[in-house]
Structures are given as C-alpha cells and as structure tokens.
Amino acid sequence: MTLPKITRASLERHLPILQWTKTYDRDTLTSDMVAAVIVTIMLIPQSLAYALLAGLPAEMGLYASILPLVAYAIFGTSRALAVGPVAVVSLMTAAAVGNMALQGTAEYAAAAITLAFISGVILLVMGVFRLGFLANFLSHPVIAGFITASGVLIATSQLKHIFGIDAHGHNLVQLIGSLLENQHLTNPITLFLGLTTTAFLFWVRKGLKPLLLGTGMKPRMADILAKAGPVAAVAVTTIAVWLLGLGDKGVKIVGEVPMGLPPLTAPSFSPEIWSQLFISGLLISIIGFVESVSVAQTLAAKKRQRIVPDQELVGLGASNIASALTGGYPVTGGFARSVVNFDAGAETPAAGAFTAVGILLAALLLTPLLYFLPKATLAATIIVAVLSLVDFSILSRTWSYSKVDFTAVAATIFLTLGFGVEMGVSVGVILSIGLFLYKTSRPHVAEVGLVPGTQHFRNIKRHDVETHPEVVSLRIDESLYFANARFLEDYVYNRIACDEPIRHVVLMCSAVNEIDMSALESLEAINERLEAVDIKLHLSEVKGPVMDRLKRSHFLDEMTGEVFLSQYDAVSALTKEKTAA
C-alpha cells in the first residue's frame, strides 16, 4: 500500500534516513566506507582517552561510540557530523559525577550512564517542542571562550598522567597546586613515554602527511596513515610496556578491558540522583547541541546542504539515550572527527554507522591487547587533541570589535579556569542571555533627515541631510518589547526638551518587526505626553504584521497623528501642511 504523500513527507522529516537512502548507490557506499575506516582509526584511541578524562573505565568510551552513531544515522540531518565522546563533554561529565561518587566505583559509572540518559531526554523534549532556537541565546564568542578555557583545563588535568603522579582539582589553581605538591613523585619512565608520545603526535598532526606526499604516496593513503598516528602511538607504547615490563616500574596502565558487546544498562530513576544531575545534564545538552550544530552547519554549507536544528536535537537526544542503554556516557558531535569524516569523503550518515561497526569489532577483538596500554599515551592523545581548541585570540578579536563581548568572553574564561567548568558554562549561559538583553534594551535610535535630491533618509550625525525645525524624524532600529520600551520613552522625551519649535514627531518603524504589550503602552504614554505639549505623534513604514496587531488595539484611534506609508510621504505631508498654513 502506497502511503499518501503528506505522510511520506512527514516520515522523512522525522526520519531523515528515509531521505538519503533513496539515492544511495555503490559510489556513495565506497565513499562512506573509506571515511568510516579513517574515522574508526582516529576514534579508537580518542574514545579510550576521553573515557579516561571523564574518570570512567576505558571500555565506556568504546561503548559510547557504537550505538549512538547508529541512532544519529537514523535521526540526524547532517551528512558529515560524527557523534561520540568529546573532550569538553567528558570534562563536564567528570565535574558533574565527581560531586556524587568516588572515581572508579560502580556508583560513578552508573551516575555517568544516568547523566547520558538525562541529557538525551532533555534534548528529545527540546526537539519535540522545537526549542532549537534557544541555542541562539548563547553567543559564539562566549562559547569560544568557554571551549578555550576548557581546553586549558583538560590539558592541565592530563599532566598528572604524563608525570605519573596523583593530582586532582576542578579548576586551574587546584590542578596546578596539586601537580606542584606531588611533582617530586614524578616517574621518569612515565615522563619519558608521555613527552615522547606528545611530541610524536604533534609532529604527526602537522608533518607526517606532507612527508608521505613528498615520497609520491597518493593523498588518500597519506591521509589514512596520518590519521593512524595515534593508533601507532598506542601500539608502540603498549608493546614497549609489555616487553620491558614497565608496568612493574611504576608506569600506570589501563589494565583489563572487558571484551565483548556493549552491555545493556539502565539509568537510575532515583529522584535524588536526577535532582543532583539535572542541571549538569541541561548544561551538557546545551553546550553539546551548540557545538554540534555549529560544526554541522559549517560542513553542510560547503556542499550546499542544510540541517534542521530541531531534528538535530532529536538525533542527539536519541544518541545519548542509546549511549545510556549500552553502557556509555554523554556524547555529542565532535569538531575534529567531523572534519576528518567530511574530508575523508563521507556522503551520508551511513559513514557513522560503518564507524560504529569498526568500533564494535575493536571492542570484540582488540580489547585484550589494551591491557598494557600506558595511561600516559592516552593523556598525550587528549592533550594534542584539545590544544587545537585553545584560541586566546578570541580575546584580542572581541576587544577590538566590541568591549561588551570582550567582557563576557574574559569573564567566561576567567571563571572557567578559576572556579571550574560548571561555573564557567553556567556564567557563560547567563552572560549570553544578559548580553542579548543589554544590547536590545538600548536599541539604536537615529534622528534622520532627507538626503538632498532623493527620497532616502539617513542619520543626521553621519550624513549631510535636510531637516525641518518643526519635524523630528526618529528611526528605530530594533523591535520594541518590554526591555527597551522605557528607553524609547526617555529618548523621545529628552529629544523634545529643547527650544526648537517642534510640532511633529515621526517614528520611522522600518526595522521594527514586533511591538509587544509593554511597548504598546509606552507608545500610548508617548502619545499622551506629546499631546500635552501640543506635539503630534506619527508613524511611518510600519510593517504589515505590526500594523495588523496595532489595529487590534485602541492606539491608532487615540494617536494624535497619522500612519504614513513611507518616511518621505510623512515629511512631505507635514512640511506642506506648514507651508499651506
């Protein structure tokens, strides 16, 4: 039975997999398979490392990289986004769960699983109610500042594995203090392994591919081998620890990693645990969604594709729930692996599903080989990955462009470094919303005049224009709502408080898309105040939807002036009126 077109369209909207599978062919399959191989090679050591960063058993990183990728392939709209554990979310997980249970305990892992489930539910609910627009309240400079500070925190937190010492702390001061306090316990062998691996991975990232291309190797193969650098580091250091018995000489190793399929797990539904984790889950959901959508939109634009933010919420929500049900922890779309996935030629989300198969095979066959893997190698992998996220130039860019944005970014970086990731992201969210309210509460209002020989009106402070002493033309460059309504009142009152023979005030509304009830009351107050001093209030260039709403009120009946189609019509009529008089 053939489904009606509207039903088919609805299904495709909610199940994007139905869209791209219609045109799936052998060439697309080949491209997706090649991309999956490259991303799998990159993702195996990263998954293990990010689990270590979150304070979880290494295998949970693998589990979080299997079924969530399949879920996103079904529900996600990005053709290139690669979902899985990422550095910032892993750090936020460690901060949230670390307040509830001791690292390494069963309760700690259970709390991380529950956190993934909570995050998934939050994302799904936001997707169902189409709340993706809420992410727009997070300014990108603030997010960039948070990610930069988080990158510094993450790299610093991994130095303990490089030095082979115990250190702890949720902020930069605590971490550095703990490292200095225990630096005398540094294990020289671990330090050598960590520094060597870090230097090797930095070189691989920048220098290996050009070197291979210089030997005449094909670009695709050179790219695969360059991405395999972390795998090579894992293999070499693991073999070295095994052959030389370095585990007995103080080098900390991963130890036994369970082999087999991801287990079926269930989150806790304890109200107490949910109340403790809910705010953290909300913050992880918001940050993860913003990061994912930013990456997805950037990559989609390069191929003239589009993503649907509300459906992305559903895709990420399903991915996190899938992670929670299979022994994983919170996941989101990662920048580095998504770019690799895109550059490797991924054509559809099927590349993610094929990557999941590769990770599954690793969990089934390779985990016994990870027993002697030194934690210093995983720490080096994390450090090299996250330092690419650190970008302090955001401070100089915002300083030169907007001091308000600079203040928000600097505060976010300082608070994240000084008080921890949860404080940093919480303040970042508040600052983003506060920044929006501050800017819109002080809308730009320009007094305008007629450009000679035209019908255009421009700011009298910027252009040589014609004005009339009895007509004040004010252009409002923002929608009017409760936060800025009083500002407009004060602006108008201050403007008419002068010795000029003002008879008319015209509010040019070409940029006004909305007038809420508070703003309407302010317009009524302005009208009454002007009428009391024998000045008429007029409007011009009012948009249709705004006019429709004004007509449903008594304001237009009570307004002392008129509504003009254009500012030129308004000034022409009012000046002619004076001339005729």
The whole-number pLDDT of residue 5 equals: 52
Q: What is the pLDDT of residue 577?
A: 58
Closest CA to 91 of 337, 280, 316, 291: 280
Low-confidence ranges of the chain (pLDDT < 50): 1, 3-4
pLDDT at 6: 56
CA atoms within 13 A on the CB side of 166: 0
| Radius of gyration over every alpha carbon of the chain, rounded to an integer in angstroms | 30
pLDDT for res 104: 73
pLDDT at residue 3, rounded to an integer: 46
pTM over 0.75: yes
> In the chain, where are the structural domains located?
26-435, 445-580
Question: Which pair of structure tokens corresponds to residue 452?
Answer: 């000679």
Q: Round to whole Å and give the CA distance between 65 and 301.
A: 26
| CA–CA distance, 255 with 291 (Å, rounded to integer) | 33
pLDDT for 147 equals 85
- Please write down the HEC assignment for all residues of 294-324: HHHHHHHHHCCCCCCHHHHHHHHHHHHHHHH
* φ and ψ at residue 515, rounded to 5 degrees: -130, 110
pLDDT per residue as tens digits for the range 205-251: 888 888 888 888 888 778 777 777 888 899 999 999 999 999 999 99
Measure the CA–CA gap between 7 and 521, rounded to whole angstroms.
45
pLDDT for the residue numbered 1: 45
Indicate the pairing of strand 536-540 with strand 563-564: parallel
504: which strand partners?
471, 536
- Output the six-digit token pair for 415: 């608070």
Of 175, 86, 176, 154, nearest to 387 by C-alpha is 154
Q: 445-580, what's its fold? A: Transcription Regulator spoIIAA (3.30.750)
Query: Taking the mean position of all CA atoms in its chain, how far away is CA 400?
Result: 23
Q: 229-243: buried (b, 16+ CB within 10 Å) or exposed (e) per residue? A: bbbbbbeebbebbee
